[in-house]
């Protein structure tokens, strides 16, 4: 049977797809089952975190470093950020006094914001915030690892499962 | 807690029992690591179980060492 000739995907495409949809990078390089497992596990971990922490798990204003790692989860992180943004948009802040110092003004604004969010029952506090952000953030960091792995393999021209490549090489020899 | 509020409102977690939530995270890390590294995907389950056991044992050893340091560290 004639073997179908397939071209290797460009590493930049693998990087972009792997970030946006966890596991898609591995699917691109011909490791479909690995891609499916990565997609399911990273998605489940991220949304388990959001399930525990609620809509403010992904929050750049509260915890910047966890937010960066959550953004590494691609579409999951973007959806989480959009949901958080919608909640902030719905908050109507009271009239603020004029404060010349920008940092103090921002602090006062955040204080009122937090009070309103607490009244709405969505404020994320200790100890739930630690666990929820750890789950969502670790999901993002693991996706970063997967993206790196798939991109490096694509750059090296590797395609398909390792044992199949080995079998093919042995068959040729 | 209804399904509608599950992904909106945070749930209450007990501060004393939250360490148990580290175990699913260990499994997640093990699955992702072995999914990338294992040579044969058919051996994934076995490899994951071995790695989870290693990680859990390592975490327990680390916890015991830290507890001993905290308990017996000479105070000035």
A28-48 pLDDT per residue, tens? 999 999 999 999 999 999 999
- How many residues make up chain B in this entry? 76
Domains of chain A, residue spans: 11-168
- Whether the complex's predicted ipTM surpasses the cut of 0.85: yes
| Nearest chain B residue to A117, by CA | B9
CB atoms within 10 A of CB A159: 17
Q: Do A123 and B15 touch (CB under 8 A)?
A: no
Q: Do B41 and A33 touch (CB under 8 A)?
A: yes
Give yes or no for residue B1 having a pLDDT over 60. Answer: no
Domains of chain B, residue spans: 21-72
Cα A125 to Cα A53, A142, B3: the distances in Å are 9, 25, 21
Interface of A with B in 32-91 (CB under 8 A): 33-34, 37-38, 41-42, 44-45, 47-48, 50-56, 83
For residues A167 and A161, what is the distance between their CA atoms, to the nearest angstrom? 10
Q: How far is B74 from chain A (nearest CA, A)?
A: 30
From chain A, pick out residues whose CB is under 8 angstroms from the CB of B35: 34, 37-38, 41
Secondary structure letter of residue B73 according to DSSP: P
Chain B: which residues have CB within 8 Å of chain A? 6-15, 18, 21, 24-25, 28-29, 31-33, 35-36, 39-41, 44
Looking at per-residue confidence, does A7 or B20 come out higher? B20
Give yes or no for residue B69 having a pLDDT over 50. Answer: yes
Q: How far is B75 from chain A (nearest CA, A)?
A: 29
| Nearest chain B residue to A50, by CA | B7
Give yes or no for residue B22 having a pLDDT over 70. Answer: yes
Task: Provide CB contacts within 8 A for A59, sequence distance 6+.
Answer: A67, A84, A124
pLDDT digits (tens, 9 = 90+) for B6-17: 888 888 888 788
List of chain A residues with pLDDT < 70? 1-6, 163-173
pTM over 0.90: no
In whole angstroms, what separates CA A139 from the centre of its chain? Answer: 6
Helices B22-37 & B44-72, crossing angle to 10 degrees?
Answer: 140
Q: What is residue A1's predicted lDDT score, i.e. its pLDDT?
A: 42
Q: What is residue B75's predicted lDDT score, i.e. its pLDDT?
A: 76
Give the A:B interface size as CB pairs under 8 Å. 84
């Amino acid at each position: 049977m004639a073997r179908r000739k397939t071209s290797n995907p460009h590493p930049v495409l693998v990087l972009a797809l792997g970030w946006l949809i966890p596991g898609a990078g591995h699917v691109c390089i011909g490791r479909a089952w690995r891609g499916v497992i990565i997609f399911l596990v990273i998605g489940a971990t991220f949304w388990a975190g959001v399930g525990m922490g609620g809509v403010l798990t992904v929050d750049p204003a509260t915890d910047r470093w966890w937010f960066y790692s959550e953004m590494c989860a691609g579409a999951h992180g973007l959806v989480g950020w959009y949901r958080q943004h919608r909640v902030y948009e719905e908050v109507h802040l009271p009239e603020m006094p004029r404060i010349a110092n920008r940092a103090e003004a921002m602090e006062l604004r955040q204080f009122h914001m937090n009070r309103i969010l607490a009244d709405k029952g969505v404020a994320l506090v200790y100890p739930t915030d630690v666990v929820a952000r750890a789950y969502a953030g670790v999901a993002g960091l693991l996706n970063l690892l997967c993206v790196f792995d798939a991109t490096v393999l694509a750059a090296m021209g590797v395609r398909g499962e390792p044992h199949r490549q080995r079998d093919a090489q042995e068959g040729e020899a | 807690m209804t399904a509608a509020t599950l992904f909106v409102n945070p749930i209450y977690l007990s501060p004393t029992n939250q360490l148990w939530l580290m175990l699913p995270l260990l499994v997640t890390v093990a699955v992702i690591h072995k999914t990338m590294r294992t040579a044969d995907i058919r051996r994934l389950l076995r490899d994951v179980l071995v790695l989870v056991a290693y990680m859990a044992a390592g975490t327990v050893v680390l916890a015991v060492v830290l507890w001993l340091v905290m308990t017996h560290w000479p105070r000035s």
